[in-house]
Amino acid sequence: MTMSKPAAVIFDFDGTLADSYAAISASVNHVRASHGLAPLSEEDVKRHVGRGPIYLLEHTVPGTNVEQDLALYRAHHPSVMYQMTRLLPGGREALAGLHAQGKKLGVCSNKPRIFTTELLRHLGIERYLSLVLGPDDVARPKPAPDMLTLALARLGTTPAQALYVGDMVVDITTARAANVPVWVVPTGSDDRATLQRAKPDRLVDDLVQLAALLV
């Protein structure tokens, strides 16, 4: 990617800005318990995170009523998400540094927006962000480009002036569909080799390295 100093930087949340897998696993296992199912490990849940809550539940609690499961998941999640979600190293510094440079910053995540917004506030980084979008804001969640396209319109920037930062192949696919350059970090659901095969514009080790390159 030739552009090194974008005007806008848009982040995914789970696995990119924050490690929220313990909280997500706790809520998944709460739903599983309601069906008399044994709990899944965090690693088993983690590989299904990032494609939206319906996908998550369809693949971790298969063969049940997904709408009822989603309601149960949403009711349970606030009881665990605050204490079981942590900001990934370099996240605060990256956002603060980019914000200080006048960059337009946002979050586009397949996590329900209400949870993302609450966690950004809890983690003390909400003030750096101009917008937060989730699957409830668009017709189609990632990997469709809808969320990124809406973010660009609201931020008043073009695809070429923006950068999307994620942790999964689904983020790369989303960015490509929206014609937005994409960097990834191997801190989420997809490992380094999987991300490399998907050919992002850049793979950085973590948000510490990202901040060093952009700030």
Reply yes or no on domain 8-19+86-214 having CATH 3.40.50.1860.
no
Total-model pTM? 0.94
Task: Encode pLDDT of 158-181 as tens digits.
Answer: 999 999 999 999 999 999 999 999
- % of the chain residues with pLDDT over 70: 98
Compute CA distances 152 → 12, 104, 188, 191, whole Å.
Answer: 14, 10, 24, 28
Asked if residue 34 has pLDDT above 90, the reply is yes
Share of the chain above pLDDT 90, in %: 96
pLDDT at 2 over 70: no
Summarised one tens digit per residue, pLDDT across range 92-144 is 999 999 999 999 999 999 999 999 999 999 999 999 999 999 999 999 999 99
* SS3 of the chain: CCCCCCCEEEECCECCCEECHHHHHHHHHHHHHHCCCCCCCHHHHHCCCCCCHHHHHHHHCCCCCHHHHHHHHHHHHHHCCCCCCEECCCHHHHHHHHHHCCCEEEEECCCCHHHHHHHHHHCCCHHHCCEEECHHHCCCCCCCCHHHHHHHHHHCCCHHHEEEEECCHHHHHHHHHCCCCEEECCCCCCCHHHHHHCCCCEECCCHHHHHHHHC
Q: What is the reported pLDDT for 4?
A: 59
> How confident is the prediction for the chain on average, in pLDDT?
95
Q: Average pLDDT, stretch 67-76?
A: 96
In which band, very low, low, confident or very high, does the pLDDT at 1 lie, cut at 50, 70 and 90? very low
**According to the model, what pLDDT value does residue 121 have?**
97
Rounded distance between C-alpha atoms, residue 129 and residue 123, angstroms: 13
